[in-house]
Amino acid sequence: MTTTNDLFEEDLDLPDSTAQHRYAALVGLDHIKDRLMKEAELILQPKLLEDWSVRSHGTVLPALRWVAARPPLIIFAGDVGTGKTTLAETFADAIARRHGIDVRVKRLSLRARGSGAVGEMTRLIGTAFDVVLREARAAGPRQPFVLVIDEADALAQSREAAQMHHEDRAGVNALIRGISQIAVEQLGILVVMCTNRADALDPALRRRAAAEFDFARPNDAQRAAVFATIFDGIGLTASQIAELVALTGPTERGYGHTYSDLVDRILAAACLAAYPDRPLTAGLITEQIRANPPTRPFAERG
């Protein structure tokens, strides 16, 4: 049976240099990072919006009540290996640094789904939110929290799905209750849900989200930026990079390499192929690209 101790992965306390590096290493997500920063900052530090209102209007505008009443939920949706988990776990590092505050990231474990015993998932999710609420109340407004619910479709499947068990529906209700409770208490807790399939998430949850961000595989320019970054220092020419970009794009397969294919697989494979007595070259990287085809998109899996 799942106990309270098993409900979370290890906390991440930010700022933290590892988080800073993981965040900075994300390529091609600047458009998401920019908007996410604003959304997240105002949920984690509601006072910033009040300060702006007073600066610009000489008073706290009534409009702020509606902004503040939005459920503190952000959804990251999209293809495999595109940086959802990494961004969810690290973006608050930038906020912590900018405002000189501590932010604690709590990550709900997949074990919170329980073993399927009647009422168990509801109880576990309810307990998880209780734990976060209790910690946030004790910490006060200077220490906001991010609650990351990864692989959220496992917990928050559409209640409309015909095959869904009663138990799963109750779990979704427990999630909605928890998020509402956070909004009511205005505790500076932001819930981030990551999923490969936004359309499998419960519509009632999606409707409540303050923002939903879509993550996709890297396009040509983004793959060029990845290659320039990860193979910095080996002297690749512009035309060699262009060849690597063409090799990793959507060919007759219809889909190209993911960020994680490039950063985690091809980079490592190329280094290991060169080690111990050869330099890294465009030729070696090309061999490894051919040997490591792109991960299939989530939607195409059987």
> Which residues make beta-bridge pairs with 105?
12, 146
Shortest CB 22 distance to ligand ATP, Å: 7
Task: Report how far residue 121's alpha carbon sits from residue 285's, in angstroms, rounded to the nearest whole number.
Answer: 46
Strands across the sheet with 103-108, in order? Answer: 12-14, 103-108, 145-149, 189-195, 73-78, 211-215
Shortest CB 118 distance to ligand ATP, Å: 30
**Is position 90 an interface residue for ligand ATP (rule: CB under 6 A)?**
no
Among 37, 52, 67, 85, binds Mg ion (CB under 5 A): 85
Question: For residues 190-219, which are near ligand ATP according to CB under 6 A?
Answer: 194, 196, 215
**Is position 295 an interface residue for Mg ion (rule: CB under 5 A)?**
no
Shortest CB 185 distance to ligand ATP, Å: 29
Smallest CA-to-CA distance from 146 within 100, 208, 194 is with: 194
Structure token pair of residue 48: 């910033």
The partner in contact with residue 294, picked from ligand ATP, Mg ion, none with C-beta cut-offs of 5 to 8 angstroms by kind, is: none
On whether the CB atoms of residues 153 and 196 are closer than 8 A, the answer is: yes
Print the binding letters for residues 261-290 with ligand ATP: x by CB under 6 A, - otherwise: --xx--------------------------
Dihedral, 177, 179, 180, 186 alpha carbons, nearest 10? 140
**Is position 260 an interface residue for Mg ion (rule: CB under 5 A)?**
no
Note the residues at the interface with ligand ATP (CB under 6 A).
Answer: 25-29, 80-86, 194, 196, 215, 259-260, 263-264
